[in-house]
Structure 1
């Protein structure tokens, strides 16, 4: 018997719920929209219409991949962050809502610095830097990552959101000192790899088996990138400039100590919606 788009959505949602997917409603809609090549508005408009057998087959195939653990964002190839549509694939982390705290704190800080240069280090998909550029239209933003595959995604996302005129995309190793192109930034933001190497095996399979370990592995204690960036990249900040990191759970105290040891002051922590310390910010102190 033919199925309507709403039937496909309800069947997909039930299957996801049975398999313990928390956001079953959202993911079911994304799967049906992807299979039917419809946006959200078109899905709601057409949900009483009958789907073709080809679309039913595509929904079934996508659902099976999801039930095997593949993240829905990789299935559909796009995810939203800070209201921006972003292309995502296996070369970049899927943007999380928690990371919007990092973007928002940078946006709030930069309102007092029109025309500022901003660096998004370990940019991945470009989500944080692009969110900043979309809200602070007078700022120029550099997206930097060691992975050329990730930078290709970031370039695509800059074009997708019509931000390429104020965005530069450059390759850089966050563990090495910055090159000559990286200087005079008012603000550096970074969501670096911060999972301790020994904890990678215990991650949810949808993360461990699909998302890039290059963007997850923070070294033995999870702090390798925080140490390197705080020590080596502070020279890329203007005196009085601000460094903002996303934090892993339980890492706030350790990162605060290392920032203080590297001469950063005015240290502040910001919580996510669950009350977890998610972002730390510090100011490069002016040398006397």
Structure 2
């Protein structure tokens, strides 16, 4: 289906200063607070013009192919498509990772999940880590990047997501193994070659009741399989807890990101499955966001 054309206002800009003002003005319709940041990102991706070049060469002529490329990217952004999909990548803890509509766009909260893991992982030991529901591979690749001695693997139920994760591993030069596995199935241990010293996961945790509250750019463009917990918001946490005796070595750690509304429920779930040292942690905004636990032993 053809995309409805939106007047971007950049078709006739002849010089960089005029183009910049038109670009910022257009993006204020989408995000007034971050319009200038978004504008620079689009400008650099479409034309190669850096912030310094924009400031020091305001009268630089704009070529027709540059206007066309920028206009096409701006059209997609103004239509509601997430900027990371438009430019094709997201930044995550110093890594430039390809993202497509087959994977979630990495969030700042998930960077904090990585921080929680790094606090628990020794710096120079070959510990084994599994990222369940890896998506773009952002968690697994960040952990390997910051703990080079670790042996890191990721799994997902989406073959399309695994292709993105493998491509990111290759682009980043990070030796991480990605395999197909469903944490709800009994063979997840065999498919992932456990046991592990840590299992980490940011599983789907948005309930269907919450779907209408999501921004349109998320609900319409990001993969539902990675967002929504369907009718049972704890199903993935129960599965992780159920498999923990086989996925984790004795004293191995389980660390997950959660829906803030279900912190106490996830804690109780882990405790009911015999996990110890179960702790609820908050994100930078003070919301319940992470639960850590340990297999006894």
TM-score, normalised to structure 1, is 0.91
**Pair 1:50-2:50 in alignment:** no
**Pair 1:160-2:171 in alignment:** yes
Q: Is contact 1:176-1:232 (8 Å) kept?
A: no
Match of 1:246 in 2: 257
The superposition leaves residues 114-171 of structure 1 with CA deviations (integer Å, 9 ceiling, x where unpaired) of 110000000000001111000001001001101110000000111111102xx11111
Q: The residue matched to 2:154 in structure 1 has which SS?
A: strand
Match of 1:259 in 2: 270
The superposition leaves residues 21-70 of structure 1 with CA deviations (integer Å, 9 ceiling, x where unpaired) of 5422222112112211x2xxx51242123321221122222212111110
Aligned residues: 280
User: Structure 1 34/242 Cα, relative in aligned 2: closer, same or farther at 3 Å?
Assistant: same
Match of 2:77 in 1: 66
Q: Is contact 1:35-1:55 (8 Å) kept?
A: yes
Stretch deviating more after TM superposition (138-147 or 212-221): 212-221
Give the Cα–Cα distance (whole angstroms) in 2 for the partners of residues 194 and 113 of structure 1: 33
Q: Is contact 1:5-1:32 (8 Å) kept?
A: no
Give the Cα–Cα distance (whole angstroms) in 2 for the partners of residues 62 and 119 of structure 1: 36
The superposition leaves residues 48-101 of structure 1 with CA deviations (integer Å, 9 ceiling, x where unpaired) of 233212211222222121111100000000110011000000100000111111
Match of 2:140 in 1: 129
Select the residue among 186, 193, 203 that pairs with 2:214.
203
**Pair 1:175-2:184 in alignment:** yes
Q: The residue matched to 1:138 in structure 2 has which SS?
A: coil
The superposition leaves residues 231-262 of structure 1 with CA deviations (integer Å, 9 ceiling, x where unpaired) of 12442100101000011122211111101111
Give the Cα–Cα distance (whole angstroms) in 2 for the partners of residues 216 and 142 of structure 1: 21
User: Structure 1 19/87 Cα, relative in aligned 2: closer, same or farther at 3 Å?
Assistant: closer
TM-score, normalised to structure 2, is 0.89
- The offset of 1:2, in angstroms, is 4.6
Aligned residues: CA RMSD? 1.8
Structure 1 unpaired stretches of 5+: none
Q: Is contact 1:198-1:220 (8 Å) kept?
A: no
Structure 2 unpaired stretches of 5+: 1-11
**Pair 1:140-2:151 in alignment:** yes
Match of 2:162 in 1: 151
- The offset of 1:113, in angstroms, is 7.1
Match of 1:285 in 2: 296
Q: The residue matched to 1:69 in structure 2 has which SS?
A: coil
Q: Is contact 1:234-1:284 (8 Å) kept?
A: yes
Give the Cα–Cα distance (whole angstroms) in 1 for the partners of residues 17 and 256 of structure 2: 42
Q: Is contact 2:124-2:149 (8 Å) kept?
A: no
- The offset of 1:265, in angstroms, is 1.4
User: Structure 1 11/119 Cα, relative in aligned 2: closer, same or farther at 3 Å?
Assistant: same
- The offset of 1:107, in angstroms, is 1.2
